Structure 1
Amino acid sequence: MPAISSFAKYSRRRRPNSLTSAWLVLLALSLASTLLTLMKSPDVLIAGGILLLALIKARVILARYLDLVESPGWLRGFTMVLTGFSVVIFALYLI
């Protein structure tokens, strides 16, 4: 039987902090939106992609930083409102 260490940090593996992983996801999404602006694509696709990435970033912030992952009803409600707002913004961009 393996001996159990007296040090807490060596006795079991720790999962990464959810705030740290959320920060890394936000950093990756920001990098993706920056790279999206450098692409030679139609402006409509770039604008839609940036808006979609912003919506994903907002959901990560709501779920992880504001702890709405614990209350899925509120998270779903905020996501629906933000999605509707994003659709209106994109429709106004297309006009």
Structure 2
Amino acid sequence: MTFDTITRAWFGLLFLSAASVLIAAGFTETLGAGATGGLVLVFAWMKARVILSRYLGLWQAPVWLSGFNWALGLFCLLLLGLFLIPEVSP
């Protein structure tokens, strides 16, 4: 792994963090709490994928990376469902 790869991954994490802060701080009234929470969760999922693939080097083991992506995706769907339960219930 070269310095350039780590630097690009770091800038990607920085961008995703800034995007999630801007969405959470500025668009809650416009989008609603459910959509805002969903977007922040998607950004967190993308950040976890960058960390797993670039920092931990799982890009060299595509089967493991795929397994972790599926597990993270299912976990994020579970979290999204738990987050949206209060909006659906009367």
TM-score, structure 1 as length reference: 0.81
Count of residues in correspondence between the two structures: 81
Question: C-alpha distance in 1, partners of 2:42/2:82?
Answer: 15
The structure 1 segments of at least 4 consecutive aligned residues displaced by more than 2 Å after TM superposition are none
Name 1:23's counterpart in structure 2.
Answer: 10
Question: 5 Å matches for 1:27-38?
Answer: 27-37=14-24, 38=26
Structure with bigger RCO (C-alpha 8 Å, 6+ apart):
2
Q: Percent identity?
A: 41
Q: Tell me which structure has the larger Cα radius of gyration.
A: 1
How does the TM-score come out when normalised to structure 2? Answer: 0.86
- Cα RMSD (Å): 1.3
The runs of 5 or more residues in structure 1 that have no matched partner are 1-14
The runs of 5 or more residues in structure 2 that have no matched partner are: 86-90
What is the deviation of 1:56?
0.3
